[in-house]
Amino acid sequence: MRSNDSKYIEFVSSELQLGLQLPSLQINAYQEDTVLKPWINDFRYSGKSSLLPLPNSDCYEPWKMDKNMVVSHLIQQNLGMIELPRKYCRLYFSTLRGCERVECWFWHVPEQGDEKICMAILKTYININESSLLQRSVQIFMNYYREVTPGVHFDSQVLNDLLISLIKCCLLKEVFQLLNVAVMIKMLPAVDVFLKVFEHVASMNIRDAVPSLIDIFCKLFDAGMVFELEHFNCIIKFLHQLQVSSQEINVILNMKSRFQAKQFKKNWLCDLNLAIAEIQVQYEFLETNFRTNPTKYIVLNQFVILFFSVVADFISLKP
């Protein structure tokens, strides 16, 4: 019992001496090489408390851990939760560093039919939101869908989320790569997400990206992306903000004119369908009344045939 008390007294006394200056030691040149220097590695001479931090206590400063190590550990935990077939390279898919083998025997691209696994990998990378993993996501997406047609497990929200994450990380090259593949497989992102690319380019004043961005815009328009008039006005506003050439703005204006022509024809066809329905009702009424008058009946039928012939020719015309 006495020995334990003496150890405790020694420990407390050492703690009380943390802030005191150590007495000077008289050491000659020969002794300096042989005498131990406990204050180099001993916590009692380091000026720091040896006590462990208590839970929910501000009395002691907690240990300062390397933030990067903590983040890497959490990322690795999330990556380790991805379920992969044995033939898939776990270094490539389930580690932050990736596979560094010159020649790897395992697969770096999901197999055809494993679209569900591909989507799960992309979702995990997007949730982690680390630049190197986002870049790897684009490579996986591109390599997979260059060979495979999108199936039932394709998730358009994954495409939109990946684009937004790339934009936030300023990975514009990968954004363009992903959009080009999306056009190729005819799986288009949401219009609002695409407009964020224009917004990012304008806010960062990246004028060199404008030609590629306009080219992708034209591809998306031709592929069937549904724009509204306000979207064109928004894009033109961003281009004016970038102070691009009038030639580049004219490309958007021409696309806007095409859109307006299509909208006009669409609205006109809607009105025409209503008119045709009304004519059919009136025709049935007149046909019943004119059956007793052969001349009027023949004239009515000729008029109806001529009318529908003109309508068919008009509809076949391109705007």
The answer to whether position 291 is within a domain reads yes
User: What is the rounded CA–CA span in Å between residue 272 and residue 230?
Assistant: 26
Count the residues in the chain. Answer: 319
The answer to whether position 296 is within a domain reads yes
Of 53, 54, 47, the C-alpha closest to 22 is 47
Structure-block tokens of residue 174: 């990968």
Residue 44 vs residues 51, 138, 244: alpha-carbon distances, Å: 11, 53, 67
Question: Which residues, 6+ apart, have CB-to-CB distance to 202 below 8 Å?
Answer: 238, 239, 241, 242
The answer to whether position 207 is within a domain reads no
Does residue 112 contact residue 148 with C-beta atoms inside 8 Å? yes
Give the range of the structural domain holding residue 299, as residue numbers without chain letter: 269-316
Model pLDDT for residues 206-254, shown as the tens digit of each residue = 999 999 999 999 999 999 998 999 999 999 999 999 999 999 999 999 9
Residue with tokens 């394709």: 154
Which residue stretches of 146-224 are H helix? 156-168, 172-184, 191-203, 210-223
Question: Which residues, 6+ apart, have CB-to-CB distance to 220 below 8 Å?
Answer: 179, 183, 188, 194
- Dihedral in degrees, nearest 10, Cα atoms 285, 291, 293, 297: 70
CB atoms within 10 A of CB 270: 10
User: What is the rounded CA–CA span in Å between residue 319 and residue 308?
Assistant: 19
Number of domains, the chain: 1
The answer to whether position 297 is within a domain reads yes
The answer to whether position 306 is within a domain reads yes
The answer to whether position 205 is within a domain reads no
Structure-block tokens of residue 105: 């025997």
Of 118, 97, 122, the C-alpha closest to 107 is 118
The answer to whether position 279 is within a domain reads yes
User: What is the rounded CA–CA span in Å between residue 193 and residue 213?
Assistant: 13
The answer to whether position 310 is within a domain reads yes
Model pLDDT for residues 255-304, shown as the tens digit of each residue = 998 888 776 666 656 666 666 666 666 666 666 666 666 776 676 677 76
- Whole-model pTM: value is 0.64
> In angstroms, how far is the first alpha carbon of the chain from the final one?
102
Q: What is the pLDDT of residue 24?
A: 44
Model pLDDT for residues 158-173, shown as the tens digit of each residue = 999 999 999 999 999 9
Model pLDDT for residues 19-73, shown as the tens digit of each residue = 444 444 444 444 444 444 443 444 443 444 444 444 444 444 454 456 656 566 6
